[in-house]
Amino acid sequence: MFLEQFPLQKKSNGWIEVICGSMFSGKTEELIRRLRRAEFANQQLILFKPKIDNRYSKKNVVSHSGNEFEAVLIENSSEILGHIDQHMVVAIDEAQFFDDGIVGVCESLSAKGIRVVLAGLDMDYTGKPFGPMPNLLSVAEYVTKVHAICVSCGNLAQFSNRTVSETSQVLVGAVEKYRPLCRACFTNTES
């Protein structure tokens, strides 16, 4: 269980939080939960999502369960800095879809005293590290790995198994293209 921590430091110190896991593990749900708490505390915040992610909404970040939060659509990480004003919290959903520059952007924001919260897949459909996520995980002060439930056996799932024949690394989709599997069931599908 993740206990949200806030360092006992001056307000000018920021930090990076990463929420990662497989498809259907609740990453976006957890991101929205954290944003709702910051919003309740009257903290200035902004949420970004990649333009490529248009599954449930072209504008908002929407979890698989239907919770949503207004977002700014961007094509690449360098656009983020142009939107920052008096924000105390900067959130980024589907971080795996961004370019490697996202790491430097997050480090720059946290150095300015901003809390940066990201959510994304840590592995692609082949079980390999996805995009900038390994580097984000290594620079983050706080990492939360959430798990889905394996649809095959009921154990904790950490893999996103693609159920269609497309082989490109990036394929935006939901239940029509992916299912969560545990390590044993994922390994059995590769055999």
The residues annotated with a catalytic role in the active site are 94
Asked if 50 contacts 28 with a C-beta cutoff of 8 angstroms, the reply is no
Three-class SS of residue 45?
strand
Tokens linked to 32: 């929205």
Q: How much helix, strand and coil, in percent to the nearest 5, is found in the chain?
A: 25, 25, 50
CA distances from 185 to 18, 123, 158, 178 (A): 26, 16, 11, 14
Asked if 20 contacts 117 with a C-beta cutoff of 8 angstroms, the reply is no
- Rounded distance between C-alpha atoms, residue 17 and residue 93, angstroms: 12
Single-letter amino acid, residue 77: S
